């Protein structure tokens, strides 16, 4: 029997993806141990959620550091101390430095609210609507220093409805986003998904087409 996957979570906001991971663990669906929550925004809701769950947390302000690299050195020293198997960026609103990514190569994933490679960065829902897209979604990808540019592991998709605005589109996507993140972390915890190399592997086979969030609680190969 595998030991629970040790996860460190990076978050900057409300912590809804963190909550989804914790709820899935409590339901017995996700064999993980969240060993720390880390933030660039002291006082954010994600830290309060960690406190309610009895999870150690740490926050530091970017303004207290001379550079991004110094900020990341300090932050990732703290993360290294909890010995995570996986680092999950769940609404973490900062680019991670080259040195930090190299230090934890093959151990960092991010959840992003678009069908990458479409719409890296911010305002993804408004950008999808402005482009007239008929389909929108979220992605989990491996983290590299470039913004939202790492190998895409999996997608979840929803239709864009007549009358949708950025807020309604975001609200409809959120639950699916949570499901996608939980399913991806579960696949890593179960050993079905390996992100340790230069290209993610699904049951030992390189992923050349992103996996999909399945209705049965598991990722699915769409090839």
Structure tokens at 42: 């002291």
Neighbours of 65 (CB within 10 A): 15
- For the beta carbon of residue 61, count every other beta carbon within 10 angstroms: 11
Token digits for 202? Answer: 């699904």
155 is catalytic: no
Contact 106, 195 (CB under 8 A): yes
Output the CA torsion sign for 183, 187, 193, 198. Answer: positive
Of 112, 125, 136, 178, catalytic: 112
| Alpha-helical runs (H) found in the chain | 16-26, 45-52, 68-81, 98-103, 124-130, 166-190
Positions marked catalytic = 112
């Amino acid at each position: 029997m595998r030991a629970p996957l040790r996860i460190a979570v990076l978050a900057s906001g409300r912590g809804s993806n963190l909550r989804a991971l914790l709820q899935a663990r409590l339901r017995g669906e996700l064999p993980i141990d969240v060993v720390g929550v880390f933030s660039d925004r002291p006082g954010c809701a994600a830290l309060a959620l960690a406190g309610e769950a009895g999870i150690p947390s740490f926050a530091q302000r970017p303004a207290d550091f001379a550079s991004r690299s110094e900020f990341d050195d300090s932050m990732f020293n703290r993360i290294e101390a909890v010995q995570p198997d996986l680092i999950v960026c769940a609404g973490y609103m900062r680019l991670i430095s080259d040195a930090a990514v190299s230090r934890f190569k093959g151990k960092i994933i991010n959840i992003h609210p678009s069908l990458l490679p479409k719409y890296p960065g911010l305002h993804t829902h408004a950008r999808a609507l402005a482009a007239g897209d008929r389909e929108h979604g979220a992605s989990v990808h491996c983290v590299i220093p470039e913004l939202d540019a790492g190998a895409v592991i999996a997608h979840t998709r929803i239709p864009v409805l007549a009358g949708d605005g950025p807020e309604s589109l975001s609200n409809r996507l959120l639950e699916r986003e949570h499901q996608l993140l939980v399913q991806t972390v579960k696949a890593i915890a179960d050993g079905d998904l390996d992100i340790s190399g230069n290209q993610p592997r699904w049951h030992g086979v390189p992923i050349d087409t992103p996996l999909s969030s399945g209705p049965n609680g598991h990722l699915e190969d769409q090839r």
